């Protein structure tokens, strides 16, 4: 459970709680000193909704504890006004709470909306507190749903998909939160924000991309990291490691998986010209796990020998899901990522048997939205049934929650800026999907240079899911976005501190896609100054 909490917490947009030394651009001159009155504001109901209630409560700040499974704590939060607006869509029997926190004093003139994690549509209070601490008026919505692993809302009493709530989760509640949050800011402070930003990772990243695609006028800047785009495809694809182990009846332990990962990183580390504990381009890593057959590893005091069956499982997981005829469906777990994240196992049980422990997010997607049987045993899924489920998910949900429309022309026309980074050792959402989406946008909108004018993507070597600013390296991503939006300074690189395979900090200037980092041939391999960004051949 502790590991699960750590993983899900990675999706919480804590970047707002990080000091922003490079985000020094002042807001527009119309944002002089103001104070929040904290009286109940007048709020207009967004189209298609009704306002059920509005409350305003002054909070003294101090230490804020995050709610739900994720928890978390932010200290030193200034006093703020908490405004909660509850919306409903007539006939849907939903009740979506939009929470806006407004600093009583010291507002920086900016608005920041915060995305969710897993099946939670919004922030649990930690991101809001961090944003307020940095001077933002901040908004989030629960979309009428529950906590990160709560899917009790997914099916109605007849066992059918609850379409209104799925629509809330997929798209419309974020747009409504933007409208409501700005209304609240206008009423409380007497002026609208000078600049509006969206900030999210994982589910929050997907929400950011959905905003750019469907509601291009909501935000001046969108920070959408490790985005769960292609949701209908990758949620099924990330169950593949469990399907492989169950069908091959082979369950390597986390220690054995780590032996394969460590060997691959060691073999492919030099491909960028330097042995620095980072695989700069996992897609170029051709390490064959069969090279470790017969190798002995020490796991929890026991000596285990890696088998051909172990290697076959790893090879299939790295390769990714395929049909029975060998057609590739999606990318696998990246080389260098923790295989035990999606290929979790437990046991042995009383009979000495090991069993798979699927990551709950894809498991819940398959059991609830595809099978429509929350108690369905995913360990029974065969290779052929897996392909059927993958195609079913595409057919039923791509237009609802796929978030992969490459036409961002309206967002570009609005002057919006979209900035993303994605870890190349992301163990839950392979960066393949984000890269593929970027390529689709380039094809639809005139090539890389034209797209760079409003959308920039940075890939972070060796970085886990939502890893930067979450305990596995740092970067001032929100500061870079602010400088782009407010000063017109487009980020050519994204300076970051990464954690390599040896647990040591190294600095890198993350390269804007499609460029990659290459060692200059001299200098300290742990320093960003020893690397340069070069064009990489397209595959």
Please return the burial class of 507, using the count of CB atoms within 10 Å of its CB with bins 0-12, 13-18 and 19+: middle
Q: Measure the CA–CA gap between 216 and 408, rounded to whole angstroms.
A: 8
pLDDT value for 282: 85
Contact 224, 422 (CB under 8 A): no
pLDDT value for 528: 96
φ, ψ for residue 176, nearest 5 deg: -65, -35
Buried b (16+ CB within 10 A) or exposed e, 445-454: beebeebeeb
Catalytic residues: 202, 426, 465
Give strand ranges (E) for 393-473.
417-423, 455-460
pLDDT value for 43: 95
Q: How many CB atoms lie within 10 A of CB 488?
A: 9
Q: Measure the CA–CA gap between 463 and 386, rounded to whole angstroms.
A: 29
Residue at token pair 């939502």: 466
Stretch (H or E) spanning 438: helix 432-445
Q: What is the DSSP string of 89-114?
A: -TTS---EEEEEEEESB---SEEEEE
Q: Measure the CA–CA gap between 138 and 81, rounded to whole angstroms.
A: 11
pLDDT in tens, the chain (539 residues): 545 545 565 555 443 333 333 343 445 444 456 777 899 999 999 999 999 999 999 999 999 999 999 999 999 999 999 999 999 999 999 999 999 999 999 999 999 999 999 999 999 999 999 999 999 999 999 999 999 999 999 999 999 999 999 999 999 999 999 999 999 999 999 999 999 999 999 999 999 999 999 999 999 999 999 999 999 999 999 999 999 999 999 999 999 999 999 999 999 999 989 999 999 888 889 999 999 999 999 998 999 999 999 999 999 999 999 999 999 999 999 999 999 999 999 988 888 788 999 999 999 999 999 999 999 999 999 999 999 999 999 999 999 999 999 999 999 999 999 999 999 999 999 999 999 999 999 999 999 999 999 999 999 999 999 999 766 789 999 999 999 999 999 999 999 999 999 999 999 999 999 999 999 999 999 999 999 999 876 55
| Separation in Å, CA 69 to CA 128, 142, 226, 359 | 17, 15, 21, 15
Which residues does residue 161 pair with via DSSP β-bridges, in sequence order?
155
pLDDT value for 536: 76
pLDDT value for 349: 82
pLDDT value for 16: 38
Give strand ranges (E) for 226-358.
296-299, 302-305, 345-346, 355-356
Take residue 121 and report the two structure tokens written for it.
Answer: 């549509």
Upstream peptide bond of 514 is cis (omega within 30 degrees of 0)? yes
Closest CA to 456 of 474, 434, 473: 434
């Amino acid at each position: 459970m502790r590991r699960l909490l750590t993983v899900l917490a990675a999706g919480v947009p804590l970047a707002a709680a990080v000091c922003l030394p490079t985000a020094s651009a002042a807001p527009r001159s119309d944002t002089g000193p103001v104070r929040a009155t904290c009286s109940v504001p007048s709020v207009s109901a967004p189209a298609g909704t009704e306002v059920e209630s509005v409350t305003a409560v002054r909070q003294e700040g101090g230490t804020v504890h995050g709610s739900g499974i994720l928890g978390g704590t932010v200290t030193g939060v200034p006093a703020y006004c908490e405004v909660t607006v509850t919306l409903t869509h007539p006939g849907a029997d939903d009740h979506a709470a939009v929470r806006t926190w407004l600093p009583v004093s010291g507002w920086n003139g900016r608005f920041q909306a915060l995305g969710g994690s897993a099946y939670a549509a919004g922030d649990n209070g930690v991101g809001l507190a961090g944003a307020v601490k940095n001077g933002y008026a901040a908004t989030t919505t629960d979309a009428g749903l529950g906590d990160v692993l709560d899917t009790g809302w997914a099916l109605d009493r007849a066992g059918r998909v609850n379409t209104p709530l799925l629509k809330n989760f997929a798209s419309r509640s974020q747009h409504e939160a933007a409208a409501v949050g700005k209304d609240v800011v206008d009423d409380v402070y007497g002026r609208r924000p000078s600049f509006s930003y969206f900030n999210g990772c994982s589910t929050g990243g997907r929400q950011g991309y959905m905003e750019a695609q469907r509601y291009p006028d909501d935000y001046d800047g969108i920070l959408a990291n490790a985005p769960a785009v292609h949701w209908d495809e990758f949620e099924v694809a990330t169950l593949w490691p469990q399907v492989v182990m169950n069908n091959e009846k082979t369950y390597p332990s986390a220690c054995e998986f780590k032996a394969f990962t460590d060997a691959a990183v060691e073999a492919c580390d030099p491909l960028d010209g330097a042995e620095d504990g980072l695989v700069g381009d996992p897609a170029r890593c051709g390490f064959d796990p069969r090279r470790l057959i017969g190798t002995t590893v020490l796991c929890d005091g026991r000596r285990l020998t890696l088998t051909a069956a172990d290697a076959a499982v790893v090879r299939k997981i790295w390769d990714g899901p395929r049909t029975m005829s060998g057609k590739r469906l999606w990318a696998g777990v990246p080389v260098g990522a923790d295989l035990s994240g999606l290929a979790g196992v437990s046991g042995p049980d009383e009979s000495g048997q090991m069993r798979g422990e699927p990551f709950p997010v894809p498991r819940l997607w398959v059991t609830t939205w595809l099978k429509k049987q929350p108690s369905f045993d995913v360990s029974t899924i065969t290779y052929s049934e897996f392909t059927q489920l993958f195609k079913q998910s595409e057919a039923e949900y791509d237009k609802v929650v796929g978030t992969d429309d490459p036409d961002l022309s309206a967002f570009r026309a609005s002057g919006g800026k979209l900035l993303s980074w994605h870890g190349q050792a992301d163990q839950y959402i392979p960066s393949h999907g984000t890269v593929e989406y970027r390529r689709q946008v380039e094809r639809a909108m005139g090539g890389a240079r034209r797209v760079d004018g409003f959308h920039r993507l940075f890939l972070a070597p060796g970085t886990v899911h939502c890893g930067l600013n979450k305990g596995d390296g740092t970067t001032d991503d929100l500061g870079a976005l602010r400088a782009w939006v407010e000063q017109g300074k487009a980020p050519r690189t994204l300076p970051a501190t990464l954690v390599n395979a040896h647990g040591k900090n190294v600095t890198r200037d993350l390269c804007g896609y499609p460029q990659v980092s290459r060692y200059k041939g001299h200098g300290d391999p742990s320093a960003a100054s020893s690397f340069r960004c070069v064009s990489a051949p397209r595959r």
